Structure 1
Amino acid sequence: MPDKYTTFAPFYDALSGEYPVYRAGRILGIEALGPQPGQQVLDLGCGTGLNFPLLQECVGPAGTIIGIDRSAQMLEQARRRVEAAGWRNVILVRADAVLMDPAAVRADIAQQGGAPASDAALATYALSLMPEWRKAWANIAALLRGQGRAAVVDMQEPEGWGRVFTPLARAACALGGADIQAHPWRAVEEDCTDVVRSSARSGHVQVRAGALRT
């Protein structure tokens, strides 16, 4: 993640445009991913843990959430969220999604009481921040069980009547360091079966989920 996420970690939730724009994508992405009670779900680029409450509703106390992020400061905000909610089933791992060694991350997760391989994985508004996002996608696959499910939620320029907001969308992505032309959900369409497709905010938010081919 860009260094700005370290600097603005304490203010990220307030500045991210979460409720007016981007929460809709999180909801749709998790619905498309379909995590089940008791499953272990990987949240890549988890940031401050905005996905955690929604994931908790799905996996329940018997499930496990693995939050991975590059920024120690963002993970500290996530840790505070976990402690405030009293969740005992969240494991936080500091790792760069592009540069990580999947074997080392698996070992870290296992050392903290999780399963080495996860049942499902989610990346919300994270892959477009990474110029080498396909390496991050490969690492996601390496952390999943065979035919595990994966979902990508990310951004593109608005469509239809929403094109009037294109300058705002471009500015928001540029401010956050995201490449609005990256379209990383293509990896789901290329590497998964039974792909679920949806969108929100005039197509600005794109959602894809499916089961990884073995």
Structure 2
Amino acid sequence: MKFQRPARYTGGARLYDVVSGERPVYRAGRVVGVEELQLRPGDRVLDVGCGTGLNFPLLLDAVGPAGAVIGVDASGSMLSRARVRVAKRGWGNVRLVEADAARLDAALAASSSPPLFDAALFAYSLSIIENWRDAYAQTLARVRPGGRLAVVDMALPVGRWQALSPLVRLACFTGGADITRAPWTLALQTTTATSHHVVRGGHIHIGAGTRP
């Protein structure tokens, strides 16, 4: 089945960056996720479920002008916002692909993308993608041996942060995210030299590793 983003990510794409809690909550996970990719200048990165392009500044700072970022998302509305961001910043080394992440091979082949990437990132996308295990498997296969993959996603907070659980549940329900999946464990199970970070009171997990 095709990955259909909920209405929040289609009709509400224009407001997503404002209402998503990016700065106070979710940017922290992106920062750690990109750090764990261990990118170098000139690297080529696959950003799966790229949305409006919130990962792009972090990724491009790491790969530099000689590198490249391929952003994949199933929502044309989200990619429209990403295109605006790319155009305003003058990023000539970002390419956007509208595609179902669970059918990544066909989409990348049709877009003349490189056969293998130096790294791949899922940031808050595997909890939304319906066939998320297929999307992960196809993405991992597109990372070169020795390349890095990171998964950033959500769980219910713990400790004193548990008081925010009702808000977290509501936000995830509204956004169509399945908070029970723990998709970062796929990265920990299928790669080597793994790392697992937890931030924002256990709400955000980052699993990363190297493709064998």
TM category (shorter chain) comes to: over 0.9
1:106 to 105, 108, 132: 108
Residue type of the partner of 2:5?
Answer: P
Structure 1: how far apart are the matches of 2:114 and 2:96? 13
1:101: how far off?
Answer: 4.6
Per-residue CA distance 1:105-164 (angstroms, 9 max, x = gap) = 332343xxx522111000000000123211110111122222321000000000111111
Residue type of the partner of 1:2?
Answer: R
Residue type of the partner of 1:105?
Answer: A
Contact 2:5-2:128 at 8 Å conserved across structures: yes
Contact 1:106-1:117 at 8 Å conserved across structures: no
1:200: how far off?
Answer: 1.1
Other-structure match for 1:76: 80
Contact 1:198-1:207 at 8 Å conserved across structures: yes
**After TM superposition, which residue ranges in structure 1, 4 or more long, deviate above 3 angstroms?**
none
Structure 2: how far apart are the matches of 1:9 and 1:101? 22
SS of aligned partner of 2:39:
coil
Contact 1:106-1:143 at 8 Å conserved across structures: no
Other-structure match for 1:147: 146
Per-residue CA distance 1:61-118 (angstroms, 9 max, x = gap) = 00000000001111111011000000100011111012x151x2332343xxx52211
Q: Structure 1 residues 157-166 or 140-149, which shifts more? A: 140-149
TM-score of the aligned structures, taking structure 1 as reference length: 0.93
Structure 2, unaligned stretches of length 5 or more? none
1:6: how far off?
Answer: 1.1
Other-structure match for 1:157: 156
Contact 1:69-1:94 at 8 Å conserved across structures: yes
Contact 2:32-2:206 at 8 Å conserved across structures: yes
SS of aligned partner of 1:129:
coil
Report the RMSD for the aligned CA atoms in angstroms. 1.2
1:64 to 47, 57, 68: 68
Other-structure match for 1:2: 5
Contact 2:104-2:139 at 8 Å conserved across structures: no
Structure 2: how far apart are the matches of 1:156 and 1:96? 24
Q: Closer, same or farther in 2 for the Cα pair 1:3/1:156, shift >3 Å?
A: closer
Equivalent residue runs for 1:1-214 within 5 Å: 1-4=4-7, 5-98=9-102, 100-102=103-105, 104-110=106-112, 114-213=113-212
- Aligned residues between the structures: 208
Structure 1: how far apart are the matches of 2:206 and 2:174? 21
Structure 1: how far apart are the matches of 2:28 and 2:126? 18
